Amino acid sequence: MFEEAVILAGGFGTRLSHVLGNVPKPMAPVYGKPFLSYLIDRLADAGIKRVVLATGHKHESIQSWFGEQYRGVQIVYSREYTPLLTGGAIRQAATKLVSDTFVVLNGDTLFDIDLRKLYDFHTSRNGKLTVALREVEDTSRYGSVICRDGQITAFQEKAESQGKGYINGGIYAINRTWLMQQDLPAAFSFEKELMQPIAGEEGFLGLSFSNYFIDIGVPEDYRRAQHEFAGLFKADEFLFLDRDGVLNKHLVGDYVRNRDMWEWLPNVLPAMAQLSKRFRRILLISNQQGVGKGVMSMADLDDIHQMMLADITAAGGRIDKVYTCTDLAESGSKNRKPEIGMALQAQDDFPEVDFHYSVMVGDNVTDMQFAQKARMRAVYITKNNPVPEAVRDITDLYISDLAEFATLV
C-alpha cells in the first residue's frame, strides 16, 4: 500500500479570490475547516504515513496550520520559490520521498477513491504512471481521457471534448525512479509535457472510479462543497468560546467587574441553546487579567460566571466548564491566550476532546492565534466591522455574531 503522498498545494485560487481574500486555494474553508485537511484526513484513514505538501503561494499559512504532524501523519514541505508548474512541483517533492511508489493529489480536488485498489492495479501491471479516472456526463469543462483495457491512449482538449466520458480525476500513482529519469525542464506541465506525450506507451495506465468527486476551483462548486461536505464528513464535535464580545458586551477600557456590569449580546441565549444540541462539549476559554490587576477579585469573577451559567441553563443551553487565565499580559503565562494552556486543561478534564474536531469562536486576534496553535478551526466574530488584516490568513470563517454561527452549524 502507499505509505507516502504528495499534495499539490501551491494554487493561487484566482477564480476564488473574491471569496477567499488572502487565503490560498487549498486552505479554502469548507464546512468549517480547510479543504486541504479533508485530503490529509482521507490519506490518514488510508494508512499514509508521510505527506509532502508542494507549496508556493501563501506557503506560510499552510505550514503554520499543519506544522510537522497532522493526525499522526508526518508533514514535509517542498516549497517552490519560482513557479515550477505541476510537473516541476511533483518532481521536486519526489526528491523528499523514500518510497519508490507514491500517490499524488491535487490540492483543490477531492476524489474519494479506494487508494488500495489504485495501488494494487498500478503495481500488478508494473505501472509507470496510473491516473485515477472519473466518468462524468459532460467532459467539456475538463477535457477527456481515452482509456482502453486500462491503457491510456489519448487525451482530448476541452474544446474537442463533449458528452459522457472519462476525465482526469487528479490522483496519480507514480513510479519515482521512472519519473526522475525523464528528460524534462525544471518547470513543466505534468499533464501537457509528460502525460500527453506518453499516451499509448506501456505502463501509462488508467483506472476508473465512481466515487464522490468535486473540484473547488470555481465559485459554484466551492459553494456546493459547503453543503455536500456536511453529509459526507465528520463534523466538529467540540466548541471553544471566548467570553467578552462573544457572549456579553465587551467593555472597552474596563472589565466586567460584577454581575451588574454584565450585558448579554442580542440572541446569544437562544444561540447557546442551539449550539448545545449540536456540540458534544462546549468550553469557555477566557483571559481575565482584571483579577491579576487587582480591579476585581476571584470571588467577583466566580459570581459573574455563576450568573452566566444560570442564564444559559434557563434558556436551554449549557457550558460544560469555564476556564479563565487571570495572569497579566506581560507575564508570559502558558495559560493566557494565544497560548493553549487552557485548552490543554480542558483536554485533561475531558479526554474525548480532539482539537482536530474542535472550533474556536472569538472576536480577537489572540483567539484566532489560539485556534491556530491548537490546530482548531478558527471562527471570527466581526460585529459587522471590517476584518483586521492580522486575522485574515489564520481564520476559517467570518460571522457577524454567535447567533449567525448557530444557524450555520
Known catalytic residues are 242, 244
Is residue 152 within 8 A of residue 208, CB to CB? The reply is no
Coil, helix or strand for 401? coil
Torsion angles phi and psi, residue 103, rounded to 5: -115, 145
Cell of 227: 453543503
Q: Residue 157, class by beta-carbon neighbours within 10 Å (0-12 exposed, 13-18 middle, 19+ buried)? A: exposed
Closest CA relative to residue 286, chosen from 243, 349, 238: 243
Query: Rounded to whole angstroms, how far apart are CA atoms 255 and 302?
Result: 14
- Give the Cα-Cα-Cα angle 68, 69, 71 (nearest 5 degrees): 165
Residue with grid cell 508548474, as numbered in its chain: 85
Residues 6 or more apart from 256 whose CB is under 8 A from it? 244, 248, 262, 304
Cα 122 to Cα 323: distance, rounded to the nearest angstrom: 52
CA distance linking residue 53 with residue 68, whole number of Å: 11
Residue 336's SS3 state is coil
Distance CA 103, CA 176 (A): 10
d(CA 194, CA 179): 9
Q: Find the distance separating the first CA and the last CA of the chain, reported in whole Å.
A: 36
Q: How far apart are CA 257 and CA 241, in angstroms?
A: 20
